[in-house]
Structures are given as structure tokens and as C-alpha cells.
Structure 1
Amino acid sequence: MCGIVGYIGKRNTKKILLDGLKELEYRGYDSAGIAVLQNGEFSNFKAIGKLVNLEEKTKDFITNGFAIGIGHTRWATHGKPTELNAHPHLGESSYVVHNGIIENYAALKKELLACGVKFLSQTDTEVIVHQFEKNLKNSKNAFEAFSKTIKELEGAYAILLTTKSQPDTIFFAKHGSPMLVGINDAGESFFASSDTPLIGQAKEVNYFEDGDFGFVNPSEVAIYDRDSNERKPNFKKLKEDKLSAQKDGFRFFMEKEIYEQSHVVADTLMGRLSDSEIIFDELDKSLFDGINEIKLCACGTSYHSALSASYLFERYSKIRTSVEVASEFRYRNPIMSKDTLFVVISQSGETADTLETLKMAKEAKLKTLVICNVDNSSMVRLADSCILTRAGIEKGVASTKAFATQVTIFWMLSLYVAKLRNSMKKEEIIKHISLLREVPGSVKVSDEMHERLKRLSKRYLHGHGFFFIGRDIFYPLALEGALKLKEISYLHAEGYPSGEMKHGPIALADPELFTIALLPEHMLYEKSRSNVEELSARDSTICAISSLEFDKADDFIKIKNSSHYMLEFFEMMVVLQLLALEISVRLGNDVDMPRNLAKSVTVE
């Protein structure tokens, strides 16, 4: 989750930029950089890793008097985390920082290369500054060139650009990625991708709307809408609580992270979908040569995403897939054959049990792959290959967006392997790619849904336990729903395959047993409905989640009508997360820091 800062004023520009980037560290990043324009000359510094590395590089750099500056923390999407790929990116006489994705960057880059432009990085961002400088040669001024450039970009972005041709001005554009500008009584201006860097610096802020672009200099804040109509800034007093600012107004980090899932899933998909195939530039296709089995190994929530993956790999890739609990696998003297791809899954990349199983696989000479959220973590360094989920920092101990992005990766990977193995027709893969593009919308939280779950939660604060039930891939989702509830509410909850209820657990059925039933329209609906009716007949309290009305339910949570079971999966995932959250809130628990738990389990 990249971060942006900018400053126009007479104070120590370097310090303001670095302090601002520190306030954005919670979002996650793998490299950082700043560019300062003073007295007609640029100073640019970049470093991979943590901000302390950038601070070391800039320790002898001092700014005196008026200057403008931009800074960025980068989460790698196009291109690996290297200094060349870090922002800001340089043209002949301009610098740019950018959050988001330029979807038509390949076409723009091809035209620029034909014009003799030399590119230094692998990023989509670099095309912005070169396109600007190309337009500057045929424009009356820098703003006209910037306006032309923005109209030529497709995708999502928050952009800051500085140029020697207008050394007192920062140009900005916002579409789909957050951006705001702040001012104070000293005549200073500040940019950032969230409130936090501006607290203590700016007095008032203007939140840009999608389509806004313009410029800021010491005397003017000029804003234009997507139709190039000028509009007045709408400055509001800036809140002063940094923790609240990091939460973006949400009550808890977990709540914020549930709402963020729409954006982070879009980041996960970014650059990995073409019209007809899945693109994993980070993978060598030879990774799958000679592979006849995939073995997935993980703990906790990551184990549930691995279980979900097993359904997708066997259904679409037609490859034998097994799933292991890491803490069990490492001690049972397992058989490990070299035609197995060993895949470990971890949000942090440091989970002790999972890391040890990866070491076992390496010693057994198996090919290895890690699905992880943290670049340069122990697992990423050790495995042969890595796919980053791009979920950003997850502060809530109960994982939400990490699970969403892991399952998204596995859906894509199952299609990627399916193409390699010719187990799906091209038309089917294209259809799934179209469905994947719908996932960010499926995980978007509606006010109506959240309010419904807030009201409903008060009915589920007692009783002797919860059963979360589902069939097929909805069984792992039931397990994950039960885990979320027990983690933060401390109520007993179990996940079960719907068809297994009559093999023992149904003995517990009574009005004080709450059954959360996952009833997807497009996956074994009638069989699942029959299983729920068996529980209803024994007086269990039923809460059904489905797009289809269910008359046997005591409570019914309606999801949108979707064309595919995976879209239902993702929407139900959000419902389960919010239900657990609201029950925990009503019980007065610390949602973000539940008792006895840690975010990254680095011991056995």
C-alpha cells in the first residue's frame, strides 16, 4: 500500500517529507524515496527497505529557504523492489510519484520508446513523467502539459509531479487512489495519501474527489474536475488524533481492513490480468515442469485459504492437491516426493511452524513457492519463488484482508496452472478473468449490509455455541468464519461441512445452538438447504446467508445475486467478518488486540 507526501514551504523540506513518510509506514512498503527542488536544482534520494536506510542516505542533505518536495513509500507492483524502481521517477527535468496503476502504460511506453525516450525502471509510473515532458514540448505551459497527460492515462492513480519549468508548483491528480492537500497560517502546503502525515503540520485539509487535478503554489490552490471545470477547494479542519487518522475514521483497524478489501484485492489483481490469461511475471513457468502434486502448508487463517485453494486447483488445474497443518506436518515424518510443488502460505512470512516445513521441503529438494504479504521476509528469502499478496499492513490480529488476497491469488494461480496443463479451454479462462475483475465489487461493504449486521448481532450474544456450515469451497469459508468469531468474541464456534452435521454434531441442536448457514445459489444449494432443514427441524436457531430467500431461517442475510459461486464466496466472507466484528463490539471486547493472540506467531 504505497504512500505519498508533498511539501511547499520554507522549512526543512527533507525533514517534513521523511516525517510524513514515517506516518505512512503502517501501510506497508518495500522502498522509499524523496525529490526536492530548490534554487532550480533537484536532489533525489532512494533506498530499498525501511525508512532508516533513506534517512542514512540523506543525513548530509540540508535544505535552507523555500523549496518544494515530494516523497513516496512503494509497495512493489510493476517491477521488483529496487532503487531504480523506487519513486520518485525522473524525466529530463521533472519528477513524479504515483499510487495506483496506469493500465495503458504498455501502449504509452511503446510510443515513448519509439520517440527515443530511455526508461530506467520496470514500473508503470515512469511513463507519466516522460509523457508529461513529451507534452511539455508542445504546450504553452507546464499545467497545459500536465492536463494533457492526465487525460491520456487510464487506470487508478494519485499523482504528484514537480518540474524545473515551474519550480514553485506541485501538480496533482486523483482518480481511484486517496489524496488530500493541507494548508496552514504560515502559507505552507502539504500533500499526503492519508490524514496522518498532515497532523501537526496543516490546519485545514481538502480531500480531492475522483477526477480532480490541478496545481498548488505558494499563492494558489487550483482544482479542476474531470471535465476541466475549475472548482473551489473545500477546506475542513484537520482532526488531531493520529491513531484515529490511521484508522481513517473507523472504530477499529479490523473494521478499516474489512472495508479496505475492495482496494487491496484490486491491488492483488493489478498487472496480473490480461484479456485472455493470468500473468505472474514473478514466476518462471518451469516451476511447474514435472509437477504432479501441489502440497499446501499453513496455519490458522492461511490454512483456510489453502483449503479453499485445494478445491480450485483440483477443479480447474486438474492436479492432485493436499493441504497440511504446518504444526502437524513437521513432526510426522511425511513422505515428500520430488514431483510435488511445496507451497507455504503466511501473511507475515515468519510463522515459525510454516517456516520449518519450508525448510524441510528445501532439504528434500522439492520445488517451493511462498504466498506471502511481506517482501524480504524469511519465507520469501528461502523459497524458490514468491507471489506477494499486496494486502498492505494488517494491524488487526484477526486476519481479514490477508485471507481475501490469498484466496484471490489462489484463484488466479489455479487458472495459470490450468493453462499450463491445458485443463481448461481458453474461453473458460477468459470467463474466469472477467469474474476476477468483479471481486473488488463483491467485497465492497454496503452501508445497508453493515447496518443490518449491527442490528442482527445483538441476537447472538448468548447460547452454547455456533456452527458455521458450508459445502465444497464454502466449508473452508465456514471454518474461517468460525475462527473469526472465536478469535475476537471468545464465544465457542466450529466450522463443519454441511453434510457432516448428521454424523454426530446434530446431537447438539437446540434453540441455543446458533447455526450460520452458507447457502450459495451456484454451489450445491439444494443439498446444503436440506442439511440446514435437518437442523431447523431440531430447533437450532438458523441464520442463513444466501441470495435466495430461505423460509426455514430465523434470520436471513441476503447477498447480491451473482453469476458464479466464487463471487458469492467473497461476499459471504465479508458478511462473516462483519458479523464477528459486531458481536465482539457488543460484548465490549478489544477487537484489534484479542486476548492471548499475536499477529505473527514466531514460536511453536
Structure 2
Amino acid sequence: MCGIVGILGSAPVAAPLLEALRRLEYRGYDSAGIATVENGRIDRRRAPGKLDALQSVLGSHPLSGKAGIGHTRWATHGAPTEINAHPHVSGPVSLVHNGIIENFAALRRELEHDGVTLESQTDSEVIAHLLAREIAKGQSPEAATKAVLRQLEGAFALAIIFAGHDDLMIAARKGSPLALGHGQGEMYLGSDAIALAPLTGEITYLEEGDVAVMTRAGARIYDETGMEVDRPRQKGVASALLVDKGNYRHFMAKEIHEQPEVIAHTIAHYADLAERRVDIPNLAVDLASLERVTLCGCGTAFYAGLVAKYWFEQYARLPVEIDVASEFRYREAPLPENGLAIFISQSGETADTLAGLRYCREQRQHIASIVNVQHSSIARESDVVLPTLAGPEIGVASTKAFTCQLAVLACLAIAAGKARGHIDDALEHELVGALVELPRLISRVLREEQGFADIAHQLSHAQDMLYLGRGVNYPLALEGALKLKEISYIHAEGFAAGELKHGAIALIDENVPVVVIAPPGRTHEKTMSNMQEVAARGGKIVLLTGESGGAPDCEVMADCRLPDVHEFVSPILYALPVQLLAYHTAVWRGTDVDQPRNLAKSVTVE
């Protein structure tokens, strides 16, 4: 994840900006930069690589302005070069940006048609030019920002400074977090409160759609309707040595809400968003010649692999063997010569998964790993490392790591289908386009969180629950049941909906809630028929379906409508309500959400 910091100070800000950026290094990055305003003029310094490189540039070419912004960038649009590094500048505007602008290609063409020359390959530079164009029309910085925000599609966090305005900074968020820090005659801004910890003891978290107009005297905050609002100040910022929960009650809640941003970064790492095609870096595997893929993981990571099995077999016509890591190596499975084995682990230290990797190494397999910790044991012993870019995940119950694993596997499945001749350019464009839309659609689901919290209150009294899904969403039923039982301690089981009548239906009565995952698509009608079988036996149904899913033909406890989405990516979008239901059920039951009993984040013993 990229990092944003901003300071309206009473002394030169370059040094404290640099130190604030260091506290965001845990997010991962490959270039950095700082811009300041001094005597009405914008000046900036940028460097590829780590912050030491930027510090060296500042040592030889210092910045002395008392207002400035800084950024650590993880490359998405464009390589990690100085020219693509933030801050970006256009005329009187400089900005830093987290997130992805989905419609940047169209905006870029519009600017080029107007004679604008863009120097970088980033989506972020487009925003700077749009702002400069509005100011050239005579708009104030505030009016220009609001006009440009209306043109942007996607998820983003922005910090903007303006030439000629030494006491002004504008911030905006949609799908990516931002926090304001309050000082004595100073104001601060950060994408994570950890960046601001040594600078201030008072934090205001911007909410979805907020725009903040900051001066050293304070900030005016406007909601997404344009109405000025008050957002609460919170005292006591977490230690700079700790990852901060922000304004969330639990790390799990924060990590659920980080998904629009981290999924956007993950997708952008593996796809060319402008061209709508997959571009997986350093994939030294001939996907076209594979006879079979072996997938392996534990718990949630195993379920991510199970979703990928559907994708690889449907879109790449590539057979997949998948097993839980704790069983895999004891089967002594015969493996094809020079086959590909993919290991999935959030921590990269899971003992069973690592043991399975070593078995495959002995069998002369090409080893690829999908991990969230790039210097972990599994990563070090792999031929190819495919990072998930989810950032630190503190909650034991995996949320953002799971959806980022799915994002990586989706891109890999598209790449395999393309290499094997089963996906043409048009279908690749369609599937990548569906992935690109996800951050915006996930943000929409998160805005409906209170509805899921209300449903969870009813579920919190249950002793047993079932989850049903078909096809690519069957593994999501398994994942939903796992999430619920590991943090709420309610017994839950996930089933393929068509298997219900082969035994599990005996469990249904009026005391058993059943979550039915039925997005519109090929198996929708069959899943709805299975739901009627539940209703006929008195089961309490929570239906998760799309806006075009049609009205249920039976009584349901809750009818939850999600944005319509391409069937290919429905497991990623539908992971959100599954996570929210589990989280809020656990909260209502008063369990330790982040550290549930008997569980550890990284299982390093067999």
C-alpha cells in the first residue's frame, strides 16, 4: 500500500515528512517523494528505491518550505522510476494519491486531445492536470478540487497543495483511508495514524466521501453531498512502533475496510489497467505447456485455492489438484514432471504448507508462492513469489489477505487461459475489467455495513448455522462457515448447495439460520431452488444475491442485495458480506475478535 503524509507547519517540514514516511515503510513501496510550498512556489524531490535514496537527494538539494506533502509509492501504473514517483505537479498544483482511478485512460485521452502533455505513465498525474485546468478557468482551489472529484471513478485518497497558497492543503478520500492530525498552529495528514503518532495526540478520521480543506488554524470537512460536517477528534494515538487500529474497534474491522485499497494495489501489480490485460512480473513458468497445477494451503488459504481451481479449469482448461497442506505430503501424490505447484500462505511461515513445498521441491516441481510477507520462509524457498500486497494483517481471522489472494489467483488464471489459447483479447479485456471494478463495488458494500450488523444481531443467538453456495461460490460457503466459527464460536458448516439433500438437510429447523450465497449467474436458479428446500423446513434464510437476482419465492429473514458483478469475480465481492456477518456476530456475542481462543495468526508447528 502506498503512504501519504502532509504537514502545514511552523518550521520547515521536509525532515518531519521524511520521518513520517519512515513510519509507513511497513506498507511496502518502491519510490518516494516530497513537495513543499515556499514563497508561493511549489518545489519537489523524488527518488526511486527506499527512503535513504530520497534522504540523499534532500541532503544535496534541500527543501525549506513550511507546508508540504510526501508519498511512498508501490508501483501500479508505470514502473518504479523517478518520473512516475509522487508527488505529481501540473502548473500550480502538486498532489499525492493512493488508490486507482478506473477511468484514467479516458481522462488521459481527453487531456491529450486538449493539448496537455503528460510526463508519467501514472493515473495520478491525470488528476493534477485536471485540477490545473480547472484553476486556469478561474476556479478556486477548493472549487477546482470538488469539480475534479466528480469526474473520478475508482478508489482514492488525495493530498493536494497549491502554488500561491502557503496555508492550504486539501484532502479527499473514497475507498482509501486518511486521518487528520491537530496541533498548535499546525495541521497534519496521514494515510495511517501511525505516521502522525509523534506529531500529534489528536486525530480526526475522514469518512467515506469526505473532503477536508485544511489550514494551520484547523479544517473544514465536507461529506459526499457537499454539506459541512463535524468529525470527532480522538485523543491518544498509538505508539509509532505499532500498527494502528485507527477509528475501528478491532483490527479485523480495519482490515475489512482496507480491502478496496489493497485489492486495487494487488490487481494493479498484476494487470495493465489501461489496456485491460494481465501482465504478471517475473513469471518464469511456461503456462502453455503445463499438464496440471498443484495447489496447496491451509484454512482460508486453502479455500482461496479452491476458488482458483474453478477458475483455472473453466478459463484455462488446466486440470488442478488441490489439497490441504496438512494432508498433501502424506499422500505421496505423484506429480507430473516439471509441473507447477502453487503454495498459498498469508504469513509465508505456515509449517504444513512449507513441508508440502519441500515435498514438491523433491519431486522437481516449479514452485510458486502467493504470500503476504515477501521475505518469509515460503517465499525464500520458491522459484516465483507472487505477493498479495495486503499490508500487515493483525486480526487472526484472515480478511484482506484472502481477497488479495483471490485477486492474484484470478490474474494468474487469466494469464494461463491466455497462454493456452482459451482466452482471447476480448475475454481478457472483459475479465480484467471486472477485476478493475471491484474496489469501487466493495466500497459500496462497505457503506451498507450497518445492515449486516443488524442481521448479525439476530444470528448471534444461534447455536448452529449453515452456509450454502454453488460453483465458484461453494468455497465461499466454506470460508463463511470458518470465519463465523473461529471468531464467534458458533458451530457452522459450509455445503455445496446441491449436496444439501444428501444428508445435511436433516439439520434444518426453525433454530438454524442458513446463509445462501446466490449471485446472479449460471447456478443462480438452482441455488434458489435449494433455498426453497430450506424454507420448507422452517430454516431462517439470509440471502446474499445481486441487484438483478429477482425476488425470492419464499420467506427469508434477510434479503441482502449486492452490486451486480461479473460471475468471474463474484467470490471476491461476496467475501465482504460473509466477513461482515461473522465480525458483527462475534461483536454481539462479546468474543475476542482479533485474538480468538486457541488460535494463532501464523501456525508454525505441524
TM-score normalised by the shorter chain: which range applies?
0.7 to 0.9
**Higher Cα radius of gyration:** 1
Q: What's the offset of the Cα at 1:303?
A: 0.8
Partners of 2:38 and 2:166 within 8 A in 1: no
Unaligned runs of 5+ in 1: none
Question: Does residue 415 of the first structure (1) align with residue 417 of the second (2)?
Answer: no
Hey, what does 1:405 align to over in structure 2?
404
Hey, what does 2:512 align to over in structure 1?
513
Q: What's the offset of the Cα at 1:584?
A: 0.8
Hey, what does 1:595 align to over in structure 2?
597
Q: What's the offset of the Cα at 1:279?
A: 2.2
Counterparts of 1:107-186 in structure 2 under 5 Å? 158=157, 174=172, 176=174, 177-179=176-178, 182=181, 184-185=183-184
Question: Aligned equivalents of 2:275 and 2:455: distance in 1?
Answer: 42
Hey, what does 1:262 align to over in structure 2?
260
Question: Aligned equivalents of 1:66 and 1:276: distance in 2?
Answer: 39
Distance 1:78 1:589, change over 3 A: same
Deviations 1:207-264 (A, max 9, x none): 59979698x88799999999xxxx9998866321325994443332222332332333
Hey, what does 2:249 align to over in structure 1?
251
Question: Aligned equivalents of 1:401 and 1:458: distance in 2?
Answer: 23
Hey, what does 1:470 align to over in structure 2?
469
Counterparts of 1:49-448 in structure 2 under 5 Å? 67-78=66-77, 97-101=96-100, 103-104=104-105, 158=157, 174=172, 176=174, 177-179=176-178, 182=181, 184-185=183-184, 187-198=185-196, 201=200, 238-242=233-237, 246-270=244-268, 272-274=271-273, 277-284=276-283, 287-446=286-445
Distance 1:595 1:8, change over 3 A: same
Partners of 1:277 and 1:416 within 8 A in 2: no
Q: What's the offset of the Cα at 1:593?
A: 1.7
Distance 1:285 1:279, change over 3 A: farther
Q: What's the offset of the Cα at 1:477?
A: 0.6
Question: Aligned equivalents of 1:447 and 1:384: distance in 2?
Answer: 37
Q: What's the offset of the Cα at 1:447?
A: 7.4
Q: How high is the TM-score relative to the length of structure 2?
A: 0.77
Question: Aligned equivalents of 2:354 and 2:255: distance in 1?
Answer: 26
Q: What's the offset of the Cα at 1:424?
A: 3.1
> Partner letter of residue 6 of structure 2?
G
Q: What's the offset of the Cα at 1:421?
A: 1.4
Deviations 1:32-73 (A, max 9, x none): 756487999989697967x8x789989999999975554333
Residue-pair matches, total: 589
Question: Aligned equivalents of 2:489 and 2:222: distance in 1?
Answer: 51
Question: Aligned equivalents of 2:447 and 2:228: distance in 1?
Answer: 31
Hey, what does 1:4 align to over in structure 2?
4
Question: Aligned equivalents of 2:122 and 2:446: distance in 1?
Answer: 36
Superposition CA RMSD, Å:
5.1
Q: What's the offset of the Cα at 1:560?
A: 3.8
Unaligned runs of 5+ in 2: none
Question: Aligned equivalents of 1:282 and 1:544: distance in 2?
Answer: 39
Question: Aligned equivalents of 1:424 and 1:99: distance in 2?
Answer: 31
Q: What's the offset of the Cα at 1:476?
A: 0.3
> Partner letter of residue 5 of structure 2?
V
Distance 1:516 1:236, change over 3 A: closer
Question: Aligned equivalents of 2:82 and 2:358: distance in 1?
Answer: 30
Partners of 2:343 and 2:353 within 8 A in 1: yes
> Partner letter of residue 388 of structure 1?
P
Question: Does residue 453 of the first structure (1) align with residue 452 of the second (2)?
Answer: yes
Question: Aligned equivalents of 2:118 and 2:519: distance in 1?
Answer: 52
> Partner letter of residue 263 of structure 1?
E
Q: What's the offset of the Cα at 1:87?
A: 5.5
Partners of 1:533 and 1:552 within 8 A in 2: yes
The secondary structure found in structure 1 opposite 2:235 is: coil
Distance 1:460 1:115, change over 3 A: closer
Question: Aligned equivalents of 1:220 and 1:393: distance in 2?
Answer: 31
Partners of 2:467 and 2:480 within 8 A in 1: yes
Identical positions, percent: 34
The secondary structure found in structure 2 opposite 1:573 is: helix
Question: Aligned equivalents of 1:84 and 1:561: distance in 2?
Answer: 37
